[in-house]
């Protein structure tokens, strides 16, 4: 199960979604729908 969080430099309205494997994605929510903005964060 992924963990969602924000950092001080995370763009407004976005969250970081991190999986146990270390994969991180930048996501945003439109209503109840999750949209991936960037698939892999360095």
pLDDT, one tens digit per residue, over 1-42 is: 999 999 999 999 999 999 999 999 999 999 999 999 999 987
pTM for the complete prediction?
0.86
At 33 the pLDDT is: 96
- Based on the number of CB atoms within 10 Å of its own CB, is 26 exposed (0-12), middle (13-18) or buried (19 or more)? middle
Q: Which domain, by its residues, includes 27?
A: 3-38
Contact 4, 16 (CB under 8 A): yes
Q: Can you name the residues that pair with 36 across neighbouring β-strands?
A: 27
Domain count along the chain = 1
- Burial class of residue 39 (count of CB atoms within 10 Å of its CB; 0-12, 13-18, 19+): exposed
* CA separation for the pair 24, 13 (Å, rounded): 17
What was the pLDDT predicted at 16? 98
């Amino acid at each position: 199960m992924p963990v969602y969080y924000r950092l001080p430099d995370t763009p407004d309205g976005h969250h970081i979604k991190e999986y146990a494997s270390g994969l991180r994605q930048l996501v945003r929510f439109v209503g109840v729908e999750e949209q991936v903005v960037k698939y892999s964060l360095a």
